Amino acid sequence: MAKMGYCPSGRLFEAAACGTPILSDYWEGLEQFFQLNDEILVARCCEDATQAISVSDATLARIGRIARQRVLDCHTAQHRAAELETILESAHSLSSPGVSPEAN
């Protein structure tokens, strides 16, 4: 999966789905899944980490709530299954010119 693109740990989504505020190191593609500093805190250095764990409990709770909503809106198994179906339908239509997936 990593060779095909971004491959975040499933634990990231599980924690967010529980409303847990997350502090992560930065990795390429993270912003494709969560809005940085609104849905997930990012530490690129020790100072960033120290600052992130120093924010108020209310701010951490808000970040956790927003991340949870993002996961429920965009990153459930149902979303992944729909994406897979779209990819498979597209691949099928490319390999079978003139034949629609509905015809099979």
Question: Per residue in 47-97, pLDDT tens?
Answer: 999 999 999 999 999 999 999 999 999 998 898 899 899 999 998 888 776
pLDDT at 79: 87
- Residue reference for tokens 């912003």: 31
pTM: 0.75
